[in-house]
Amino acid sequence: MTNSVSSAKFTADAFFAGVGGIELGFEQTGKLRVLYANEFDKNARKTYSLNNPYIPLDGRDIHNVKTDEIPDCDIMMGGFPCQAFSIAGYRKGFADDRGDLFFEMLRMVNAKQPRIVFLENVKNLVNHDKGNTFKVIKEALTENNYYIKWKVLNGKDYGNIPQNRERIYVVAFKYKSDYDNFTFPEPVKLTKTLHDVIDFHNKKDEKYYYRQGKQPFYDKLVPEITSQDTLYQWRRQYVRANKSNVSPTLTANMGTGGHNVPLLLTDSGEIRKLTPHETFNVQGYPSDFKLPADTANGQLYKQAGNSVVVPVIHRIAENIMDVISKNDQPSSPARNSGSYALIYNSMDGRYSGESYVVDFNDDVNVLKQQVKTSGKPILTDDEYLKFVKNKKTGDFYMIEKC
């Protein structure tokens, strides 16, 4: 543990921790230390513990964790499992058993009332079930008195990492003064190339190479894999080159078969797949990040595909830590109590926006009256879903029963 982390002013609890990419991005600010982490997957825990021996790691199913068993914290973070919301998860959403894991994390949030809640998920979260899934998540946070901002960011545009990886980042603030002062980072120029994160030069273990007679589709690879400026994927019947000269999105499916791991052309003219270490490099992990020697490569590929682009997390974390470091007296306006919530929304298309509860009341008409002077519309659920479907931009209100 570095001195900067051990003496950090702010603390965090991490759920669905994976191998610790979100925590790493925050710890790199030097202003935060992780008090507790929870991860159910035993193979991911091995990688996590190898790199974070000082962080208490709980391997239980989150359903079995009692709120009084975890420490109070300033920031609660997690990349709650995305399979329930991704195309790869067959778009099951909350019907999938994994869909309730968000609500298990919300149980922890409600008990601990952290100053910040940080969530990461697949881009498709905002589109799933015509927008209903993300609507539920937003309302669950805002009706529990959090002010939220969200944005979809691409690793190549916001992390200077040569990977086309779009993810949604949600930052929820307990205090409106923190929310008002936070902005997501601006895009940065991509200066790193695949050659900065992948070794095209040196010989690797034979198991990573594709050979004549070893792969039945090898003859189809040779005429297509011709450049060292990009990576390739075998798509069952054809080879796909990534036209933007960065890595395609790494997926957890890399752990289920070699054809899912991106391919490259070596200096010697051979074709091979990325090594597990290279997949972590493509996610922006530091060169000294350790992988357990006794863990199968399939599991390591899965861990990398399930993980995050660390430099993007770090840039968001820098902005969060800057805001809360400077705001010694955080505050929020007073709100009434009531069974209905008046929720403000501002959206720039599907992939960027903010939302919070303006007020609560038992009388819907009182809430409607508050909106009249704003000149903004009050949308019904159906109108909201149409707004999302049409990728509209604008400010509006909704009234929801709590």
Active site (catalytic) residues: 82
Cβ neighbours of residue 10 under 8 Å, at least 6 residues apart? Answer: 31, 32, 33, 74, 75, 321, 324, 325
Residues 161 and 152: their CA atoms lie apart, in Å, by 16
Q: How many other β-carbons are positioned within 10 Å of the β-carbon of residue 399? A: 16
- Using DSSP bridges, classify how beta strands 209-210 and 271-273 pair: parallel, antiparallel or unpaired: antiparallel
Residue type, 74: D
H/E stretch holding 120 reads: strand 116-122
| 343: helix, strand or coil | strand
- The two tokens of residue 387 are 């707004």
CA distances from 160 to 21, 28, 186, 241 (A): 16, 16, 12, 21
| 247: helix, strand or coil | strand
Residues 120 and 359: their CA atoms lie apart, in Å, by 27
Residues 135 and 147: their CA atoms lie apart, in Å, by 14
CA distances from 214 to 64, 76, 296 (A): 46, 47, 20
Residue type, 330: P
